[in-house]
Amino acid sequence: MTTVRAAHRICPLCESTCGLLVDIDDRRISRITPNPRDVFSAGHSCAKGLGLGALESDPDRVRTPLLRTASGEFRTATWDEAFAEIGRRLPEYVSGAPGSCAIYHGNPGAHHLDTTFYLGELIAALGTRNIYSPASVDTWPKNLAHILLYGTGLGLSLPDIDRTDHLLILGSNPVVSNGSTITAPGMAERLRRLRARGGTLVVVDPVRTDTAALADLHVPIRPGTDALFLFGVLSVLAAERAVRPERIPEQVDGLPEVLDLAREFSPEDVGPACGVEPELIRRVARGFAAADSAVAHSRMGSCMQEFGTLANWLVEVLTIVTGNLDRPGGAMFALPPGGGPNTWPISTARPMLGRWWSRVRGLPEAMGELPAVCLAEEILTPGPGRTRALITVAGNPARSLPNTAHVEEALRALEFMVSVDCYVNETTRHADVILPPPPLATRGHHDVTLAHFQVRNVARYTPPLVDLAEGELAEWQILLRLAALAKGETGRTTAELDDEVAVVAARRAAKLAGVAPDRAYASTAGRRGPQRLLDLRLRSGPYGDRFGEEPGGLTLALLEAHPDGIDYGPLRPRLPEVLRTPGGRIDLVPEMIVADIPRLRASLVRPVPELLLINRRQRRGMNSWLHNALPQPDDGQCALLMNPGDAAGHRLVDGDRVLVTSPVTSVTAELRLDDALRPGVVSMPHGWGHRGPGLRTTRSAAAPGADYNALVDDTAALEPLTAAPIFNGVPVTVTRCREEDPR
Ligand SMILES: Nc1nc2c(c(=O)[nH]1)N[C@H]1C(S)=C(S)[C@@H](COP(=O)(O)OP(=O)(O)OC[C@H]3O[C@@H](n4cnc5c(=O)[nH]c(N)nc54)[C@H](O)[C@@H]3O)O[C@H]1N2
Ligand SMILES: Nc1nc2c(c(=O)[nH]1)N[C@H]1C(S)=C(S)[C@@H](COP(=O)(O)OP(=O)(O)OC[C@H]3O[C@@H](n4cnc5c(=O)[nH]c(N)nc54)[C@H](O)[C@@H]3O)O[C@H]1N2
Ligand code: SF4
Ligand SMILES: [Mo]
């Protein structure tokens, strides 16, 4: 029996990265409490983090490899059997026409060290450009705006939430989601503190959310109109000469041009389309401009909508022209301990955009991936280069991508599919082989990627709490084995493969640190797997010891000696070195963006659909995958929410079973009335719809909920610059169900 008491563990579920203290009895998590001494989260946590034990001990979790048999059922298999099957079938697709084998890697992968460091090995071994992830249905409009303005899509600008005098949030509900592209444990508390110190919080959201309830001002905007609204705000700043050129960094070009663009979007011009009174737009503009420091922050609601890139560009423009870029209390850039695109001297010659194109629709690559809306058609459309095999790692595209019926039709049409995943869910039920990751307690943790979003420069690491048990493989070992099998290599051990990865990583780290590669490699010789790669990154990162050149600098050993983390202080100004644009300038009016403005202008004068569907997140949810393990409070939580006035107009009452119909299909849901929604807007959560044969998620299949993404279009209605689906602002009709409608 393994007993562990109050061991440190960073929660891997959401972007808040809370520090937890964990007890383990007989390898099972028996108790979790928040860590009050964590340098960043200081005692914050939520029901999900405290429920990690339930998540780990879920009886439905996959714990051994599963192989599909001739009769179509899964049977448990040994790792050797599972890898033998993959070795026999996968190489054909890897060596076939490019694109024959695709990969989809999902959200949890961004939170784990194993995937952060070893997924790239698998992708390289597959030699495919058909790489998909939820990034293209999540952040791309924001990434694109950042690529065009600052030169990197990952080193995003952050609201300096702990010091700002004025925060404008658009399309995010951090009190429930705990924040996104902002890593700030305890968002609700930070927002309360902002107000307590005399600051102002403004929330732009069609719904009076729990976040809006904390605000000084809530602007109940019509979905999809954030770009118009922000242009309206900018036009007020232009008209009232409220921009502050003296505070704008000298690298910024295009101030007069961007203000000129705004002039044709006065509050009177845009107000009716936004459903916002012109005076309210003026009030938002004046409040923002008058604050000593101010910053705007946007997320899902203003990304996954019709004008997502324009809206996210304008968020940055607003912060820049009011003189709030790269200043305390404004928009700043983190300095991630493990380094990354905004610390490395990367080439700026060619933006990571449109370097290749999808076969069927010709949609452009961005940041090394194709838009995920291409996945289904690349499988279903005949012709050379058709995708015939797929690997999924920590993803549930069958519920997370738009047009889920299309996605599942495609998964059924695959010749071979491997899933690295811990559930048999809507996606993995189509796999031929499922390979399960081991329990959380066997993994070390440091957030390499999310450190780019940290609102304070901190470094933390929590080590594995127990060793792998008999029959468990670390996820990085699984990924390395898959990579070797893809290349048809069977001879070498995982340890040998790992050494090869480390040699390359050491070379890169040595170059960054200005030391000899042998020295970097030798300095980390005592470690293996992700710990070794992390040590290389930390030591060659911005606080690193440069392999001994800077005694006292950051190393993994130093973090092990500081289990509550090390605080490197508040965000620091980083211009101009943070810029990765050609010439190191910030062009406020990128051509690609300006070219999209006529489309925005045209939207001013078109009829508004009667009802627009938007998404809402739920406190205990994490996209599609916690519903089985974590008790959900009540069965109405999947309900369609509607404003009582709209319900009366449609002769609907609370508790009705309704049919929600979009241009794609219909789903049924229970109706709940809620005056927090603005009229003309209805909402549902995504990730539900746990239906159909073959699921091994007993609890969620018993309360399946409505499948939001069945309703969302994956072809015609896309944001044109990023091919992002329009999750928010789906035109729908809502009618009472008849007896014959499916349940
Ligand atoms: N509890 C929970 N937490 C999560 C997740 C989860 O599923 N559940 N998922 C995690 C993930 S992967 C992510 S990316 C983050 C996302 O984190 P957030 O970006 O905070 O996402 P949401 O909570 O969906 O908030 C989006 C808000 O946008 C509003 N909205 C909808 N349409 C529009 C519009 O057109 N304009 C404006 N201005 N607002 C609009 C919605 O009403 C909603 O309040 O959350 C993470 N955290
Ligand atoms: N309508 C609508 N759709 C949306 C969104 C929305 O707001 N509205 N949000 C979008 C966003 S922001 C996101 S990020 C995507 C999420 O899209 P996905 O990442 O595709 O979906 P998840 O539901 O996060 O699925 C995670 C999968 O990882 C598995 N898993 C969990 N932990 C591990 C692990 O440690 N290792 C491995 N190998 N597997 C693991 C789970 O069992 C599950 O199958 O959904 C998107 N879809
Ligand atoms: S807020 Fe996020 S990181 Fe913190 S405990 Fe909850 S799920 Fe985990
Ligand atoms: Mo996400």
pLDDT in tens, 368-392: 999 999 999 999 999 999 999 999 9
* Phi, psi dihedral angles at 553 (to 5 degrees): -70, 175
Q: 480 in ligand 1 pocket by Cβ < 6 Å? A: no
Q: 393 in ligand 2 pocket by Cβ < 6 Å? A: yes
Query: 665 forms bridges with which residues in the sheet?
Result: none
Average pLDDT for 130-149: 96
Nearest CA to ligand 3 atom 8: 49
Q: What tens digit of pLDDT does each residue of 485-527 get? A: 999 988 899 999 999 999 999 999 999 999 999 999 999 999 9
* Cα 138 to ligand 4 centre (Å): 5
Cα separation, 428 vs 439, whole angstroms: 19
Ligand 1 atom with the smallest distance to the CA of 621 is: 8
Nearest CA to ligand 1 atom 47: 177
pLDDT exceeds 90 at position 31: yes
Q: 722 in ligand 2 pocket by Cβ < 6 Å? A: no
- The ligand whose atoms approach the alpha carbon of 622 most closely is 1
> Please, which residues have CB within 8 angstroms of residue 92's CB and are 6 or more apart in sequence?
none
Ligand 2 atom with the smallest distance to the CA of 300 is: 7
pLDDT for position 742: 61
Q: Which band of pLDDT confidence, cut at 50, 70 and 90, is reported for residue 350?
A: low
Q: What single string gives the DSSP state of each residue in 2-18? A: -EEEEEEEE--SSTT--
Sequence letter at residue 250: E
Task: State the virtual CA torsion across 236, 311, 302, 235 in degrees, nearest 10.
Answer: 10
Q: 17 in ligand 3 pocket by Cβ < 6 Å? A: yes
Q: 14 in ligand 3 pocket by Cβ < 6 Å? A: yes
> Please, which residues have CB within 8 angstroms of residue 595's CB and are 6 or more apart in sequence?
none
- The ligand whose atoms approach the alpha carbon of 614 most closely is 1
Beta strand 353-357 pairing with 66-68: unpaired
What does the block give as tokens for 89?
């079938």
Nearest CA to ligand 2 atom 7: 615
Q: 407 in ligand 2 pocket by Cβ < 6 Å? A: no
Q: 106 in ligand 2 pocket by Cβ < 6 Å? A: yes
Average pLDDT for 392-415: 98
Q: 173 in ligand 1 pocket by Cβ < 6 Å? A: yes
Q: 116 in ligand 2 pocket by Cβ < 6 Å? A: no
pLDDT exceeds 80 at position 18: yes
Cα separation, 648 vs 272, whole angstroms: 23
Closest CA to 679 of 608, 609, 611, 605: 611
Q: What tens digit of pLDDT does each residue of 538-556 get? A: 999 999 999 999 999 999 9
pLDDT exceeds 70 at position 347: no
pLDDT for position 709: 98
pLDDT for position 395: 98
* Cα 171 to ligand 2 centre (Å): 20
Q: 623 in ligand 1 pocket by Cβ < 6 Å? A: yes
Cα separation, 58 vs 267, whole angstroms: 53
Q: 14 in ligand 1 pocket by Cβ < 6 Å? A: yes
Ligand 2 atom with the smallest distance to the CA of 428 is: 44
Ligand 2 atom with the smallest distance to the CA of 396 is: 20
